Amino acid sequence: MGGWVSEVRDVGRHLRFIVLRTWDKKIQLTLKRGVAPDELFDVTDNLTQETVLVAYGEPAPEKKARAVDLEIIPERIEVVSRAEPKLPLDPNWKVPALLPTRLDNRPLDLRRPEVQAIFKITASLIRGMIDWLDEHGFLMVFTPAIIGGASESGAEVFRVDYFGKEAFLRQDPQLHRQLTILGGFERIYDLGPNWRAEPSHTTRHITEFRSLAVEMAFISDETDVMRVEEQVVVSGIKRVLEERSRDLELLGVELEVPQTPFPELRFPQIYDILAEFGKEIPYGSDYDTESEGLLWRYVREKYGSDFFFVNRFPFEAKPFYVMKAEPPWARSVDLLYKGLELSSGGQREHRYEVLLEQIREKGLKEESMEWFTKFFRYGAPPHGGFAIGIERLVKQMLDLKNIREASLFPRDPERVLP
């Protein structure tokens, strides 16, 4: 078996314990002088923490070590890769490192079982979500990440030199998901990366994140989308509970399957709720970050839920492609989890003439969006969908302080390495 040296303890001259860390257990190698060959003591003299060993041997007849999963009496030990003595952070966490130090030295940080737990949980979460989608007739597709046409809203995008032409990294798979629907695929999902060139300095933004983006045709209205979205989330959380109870315990997280349907708040009633908390938002305007926290408090007290939808956002706050409801509102839905926006979605506008009108209303040039809009001339079903930010979902589910902890190698305005 192979692993990283977590600890070496000499107890007297005749006994040495070496604790190895593997990705799923702790193993103690026990060396007794007189029992173990002297050469095993020789090769393990001056072992440094985090050195990689491969050991061969049999389990001890009686496991006396309590704090490990396995106790081995080694017959042979190979020092595969000796770690330098001064580590940039301590994976044993005797001295906790700060987040920037952790991220600068992420491969060492990732050795901690608590950190690995985050990504094991993420894998189960995603598996649970996409299994539900597969079981309900959704097809996994991959839409492009490099987009040649103008961006959907003029929000900050990364520019790419595409053989001398200008292209952009997608902020969202939104437009191509819709075009895939126009391609006759009635239920799809796309799991992939998105990029935002926003120089945001917060604990809930990174410049590269992944989303699970779902789109479905022949919906009655945006509530069909909400019913799918909550089932996807519930299915993911159920899977985490089934497969990762030990990892949840390691992180000290108590997780429950949320009740469905999730509570739904709508504009303009939102303004009245916020007013109860003394928060005045001008009628017809979007709410701010503080409001998200206030609405969560409201929903928790009234419905006891950590999840809730917000529906009927002001059209002026949303992109051109959303479908309008009674003016000035739109069939545009956000899902919030513990007061943080997890996803945006809703019903899309599929009527060509209306779509063009909305593009003009947003002050965009019709020509710039023609690569997208022209296909709505040839038969477009009513449709809608949503995109859930994976890292945000994980952050909220595990009560992580910073979204960067939910990303293996996070990218933010100051960090593109390692």
Partner RNA sequence: GCCCGGGUGGUGUAGCCAGGCUAGCAUAGGAGCCUGUCGAGCUCCAGACCCGGGUUCAAAUCCCGGCCCGGGCGCCA
Residues numbered 191 to 210 that lie near RNA (CB under 7 A) are: 194, 196, 198-207, 209
Name which of 55, 73, 56 is nearest 64 in CA terms: 73
- CB 64, min distance to RNA, A: 3
Among 77, 89, 219, 310, binds RNA (CB under 7 A): 89
Beta strand residue intervals within 82-157, DSSP E: 139-140, 146-147
Q: Nearer to RNA by C-beta: 22 or 243?
A: 22
Helix (H) or strand (E) segment spanning residue 242? helix 222-243
112 catalytic per annotation:
no
Q: Is 204 a catalytic residue?
A: yes
Helix (H) or strand (E) holding 275: helix 269-276
Q: Binding residue for RNA (CB under 7 A) from 38, 98, 161, 278?
A: 98
Describe the strand order of the beta sheet including 165-169 as a list of residue ranges: 146-147, 165-169, 159-162
Residue 81 annotated as catalytic: no
Q: Is 198 a catalytic residue?
A: yes
> Is there binding between residue 151 and RNA (CB under 7 A)?
no
Characterize the bridge pairing of strands 165-169 and 159-162: antiparallel
Binding to RNA in span 106-145, by CB under 7 A: none
Residues 383-412 that bind RNA (CB under 7 A): 387-389, 391-392, 402-404, 412
**Which residue among 1, 22, 41, 49 contacts RNA (CB under 7 A)?**
49
Per-residue DSSP letter, 328: T
- Is 14 in the active site? no
Residue of 2, 23, 24, 32 that binds RNA (CB under 7 A): 32
Q: Which two tokens stand for residue 279?
A: 């928060």
The catalytic residue among 33, 82, 205, 411 is 205
| Residue whose entry in the numeric block shows the structure tokens 């050991």 | 55
Contact (CB, 8 A) for 357 and 384: no
Q: Which is nearer to RNA, 248 or 400 (CB)?
A: 400
Shortest distance in whole angstroms from residue 86 CB to RNA: 4
For 324, the token pair is 């309008």
Q: Which helix (H) or strand (E) holds 39?
A: helix 38-43
Q: Which is catalytic among the residues 7, 156, 198, 264?
A: 198
| 20, 53, 77, 103: which one binds RNA (CB under 7 A) | 103
Site map 207..246 versus RNA, x via CB under 7 A: x-x-x-----------------------------------
- The residue range among 94-102, 180-188, 322-330, 355-363 that interacts with RNA, by the rule CB under 7 A, is 94-102
Q: Write down the catalytic residue from 235, 392, 404, 407.
A: 392
Q: How many CA atoms lie within 13 A of 293 on its CB side?
A: 3
**Which is nearest to 101 in space by CA: 88, 92, 84, 114?**
88
Q: Establish whether 196 is a catalytic residue.
A: yes
Of residues 346, 363, 393, 367, the one with CA closest to residue 124 = 393
Binding residues among 154-173 for RNA as defined by CB under 7 A:
155, 172
Residue 16 pairs in a beta bridge with 10, 31
Q: Which of 341, 368, 370, 411 is catalytic?
A: 341
Residue 269 touching RNA (CB under 7 A): no
| Nearest to 342, CA basis, from 230, 179, 259 | 230
Is residue 50 flagged as an active site residue? no
| DSSP-derived pairing of the beta strands 264-266 and 307-311 | parallel
| Size of interface with RNA, in residues (CB under 7 A) | 78
Catalytic residues: 196, 198, 204-205, 341, 344, 392
